[in-house]
Structure formats: structure tokens, C-alpha cells
Structure 1
Amino acid sequence: MTGATESTPLPVVARVPVLNAANALTGLRLVLVPFFAAFVVVSGMTHAGWQIVASLIFAVASLTDFVDGWIARRFGLVTAFGKVADPIADKALTGAALLLLSVYDRLPWWVTAVILARELGITALRFWVIRRGVIAASRGGKVKTGLQILAIAWYLWPMPAALAGIGPWIMAAAVAVTVLTGFDYLAQAARLRRTAN
């Protein structure tokens, strides 16, 4: 008599190709970073025309950050490459923008230092616990990303004086949420390590 296990086919697990739409958008974001930085430098943060071009490149690159994740989840295109490349692309874009804003005295260096320390620290933490589980982006993390992008875009765009003063308030909110969500991710990492042990 043939056992049931012999006649039952094993489930086929489809392999997700590394070259897919989600990863292509992540790659595009990485490619856009040097172009964005170059246009900021060319503008010297004084030439409105080049500032607008730099701002538009930053906006397009930031949009890919939201779209690539949605595509990956919606169509089952999550890959190991995407998990590694996506946060690297995010940090490269926001990091370049923050550093350039500080270089051109548009943003205090301590703001750039706080945000980058948090971002790089949490990225390193994610890689550290990746074998035990994935620290998913929380709702607060998504709010943080949105505030950072809005604040950076506000500083980059040649705003009239009446509106320029709003930028520091948006950036202050971004810094506050950045720090608070950093503690939340630390708590998530601690829980992952406890459950793994």
C-alpha cells in the first residue's frame, strides 16, 4: 500500500527574481543620489533654477522609496537584495541631502548628526537581528520618513521668505519623531533577541 506522503506532491515555492520592478526602483534611487548631489553643488544653494532641478530629483527619488515597497509587498517581489539595498538607498538619499544642507549652512550640523546617527544605528541593528527576524517599518517609522522628506524638500526648494520660516518647525517634528521611533526599534530588537533565545 502506497503511503499518503508518497503521493502528495510537495508545495512548489516560487523563486522571486532579483531583477524585478521593486528592485529596479531601488536601484534607480541609488543612481539618482549622485545626480541630486551634483545639482545641489551646482546651485550653490543660491541659484533658484538649479535648486528646483535638485528638488525635483529628490522628490522623484523619494517617491520610489514609497512605490518600491508597495510593489514588493503587493506582487510578492520581496528579495534578500531588496531588504539590504532599500535601506541603503534610503540612507544614501537622505544622508546626502542632510549633509549638503549643513555644508551650505541651511541646516545646523547637530540636526544632521542626530538624524544620521539614528538612521545608521537602526540600519545596523536591523542587519544584526536579521537572522532572528525582520524589524518591520512601524507606522511611526513611516511618519518619520514622510516628515524627513517633507522637511528636506522644504529646505531644498527656493522658498519665499514668508514660507521659509516653516521649514525649521517641520524639521523639529522630523527630529523628534526620528528619535522616538529609534527607541521603539530598539525595543523591537530586544524582543526579537529574547524570543530567539
Structure 2
Amino acid sequence: MNLANKITIARIFLVPFIMIFLLIKLDLEPIHFDDFSITYNQIAAALIFIIAASTDGLDGYIARKNKIVTNLGKLLDPLADKVLVAAVLISLVEMDKLDAWIAVVIICREFAVTGLRQIALLENKVIAASKWGKWKTAVQITMIIALMLNNFPFTFIDIRFDIFASWVAAVITVYSGIDYFVKNKNLIPIA
């Protein structure tokens, strides 16, 4: 197994640690600034999430630079992204930080595109990430970090960036999903 694929697998292994820090309550006093409050758990979870999310670009860069792009990597990378994002979204819904409908829209789109990729594989084709898919990932990561950090630093200037980012993520997620299906409609068997 090459280095790029090992990094992708490491991203998957970080997911339980993020969830543990998000969902398990430690008996520590939260950090307070005026009306803003955040727990050490949330900070730890956000830092681990940022590390995990940053490996998404790193594994692809290493694979392309060293010419070690594999079909396993092409399949494993988007799967690792989906596991990471879905686990955190579900945790954020559990924490009452994200509306469930947004999490459902995002997760359903991920399943649908994964299904489309599986159909492509049956025809010996690989659907690479599109421009909109990359934008979707960037916006989702931004939204997740804002939610995990209780809208920091925007809470100090009274801007609900976390809510705005959630809506933008939902819209771009739907659009990018439609884009994948329109561009690959030839793969969908019509009865």
C-alpha cells in the first residue's frame, strides 16, 4: 500500500476520535469570553477534524506528484471523505448544532454519488471529483468547523456565519450532486 492510501486510511481512523471528543462530556470548565463559551472537547474535536480534512488534499497531491494514483485510492479517498463528513454531521445534529434536514440532504447526496461511482466501476470507468464536488467539500468543511467552534470568531461581531455556511453547504451539495448525475447520465440504465 502506498503512502497516499495510508494517509487516506489514517483519515478514516481519526473519525472515532472526533466523535468521542464531540459527544463525550468531560468534567472540565468550558472556556468563556463574554457571551461566548466553548469546551475543550470541541476544540480538540475541531483540531482533529482540521487535520483529517487537510489530509484529503495531501493524499491526492502525493499520489499525483509521485505517480502512484491507484484505483483503490480513487475509491478510498471519496469514501474517507464521506465517512468523515457523515460522522461529524450526525454528531452535530445530536449536539443540536445542525438541523437534521441539512445533514440528511448532505448524506443522501453522498450516498447517491457513491452509487453512481459504483455503477461507473461496473463499466470500468472512474468518476473523478468535479470542480463542484471540490467546492462542495470546501464549503462543508468550513461549515463543520464553524459549527464545531460555536461560530468562532464570528460570534464576537454578531454574524451567524455558521447558519449561513450551513445553507450554502446544502445548496452547493445539491447542485454538485445534480451536476454529477447530469454529466454521467449515460451510466444510468433506463428501463
Q: Same fold (TM over 0.5)?
A: yes
Report the Cα distance in structure 1 between the residues aligned to 2:129 and 2:169, rounded to whole angstroms. 16
Cα deviation digits, residues 13-64 of structure 1 (max 9, x gap) = xxxxxx1110011011011001111111124897521110000000000000
- Counterpart AA for 2:59: D
Equivalent positions of 1:143-182 (< 5 A) are: 143-158=135-150, 159=152, 161-162=155-156, 165-182=160-177
SS at match of 2:24: helix
8 Å Cα contact 1:43/1:51 also seen in 2: no
Report the Cα distance in structure 2 between the residues aligned to 1:99 and 1:47, rounded to whole angstroms. 19
Q: CA deviation at 1:67?
A: 0.9
**Residue 93 of structure 2 corresponds to which residue in structure 1?**
102
Q: CA deviation at 1:132?
A: 4.1
**Residue 20 in 1 paired to residue 5 in 2?**
no
- Counterpart AA for 2:85: T
- Counterpart AA for 1:141: G
**Residue 138 of structure 1 corresponds to which residue in structure 2?**
130
- How many matched pairs? 176
- Counterpart AA for 2:18: F
RMSD: 2.0
**Residue 17 of structure 2 corresponds to which residue in structure 1?**
35
**Residue 185 of structure 1 corresponds to which residue in structure 2?**
180
- Counterpart AA for 1:170: A
8 Å Cα contact 1:126/1:135 also seen in 2: yes
Cα deviation digits, residues 106-143 of structure 1 (max 9, x gap) = 10100000000001110111011123422121111111
Q: CA deviation at 1:88?
A: 1.6
Determine which of 51, 61, 81 is the counterpart of 1:60.
51
SS at match of 2:40: helix
**Residue 33 of structure 2 corresponds to which residue in structure 1?**
none
- Counterpart AA for 1:189: N
Q: CA deviation at 1:69?
A: 1.2
8 Å Cα contact 2:14/2:48 also seen in 1: yes
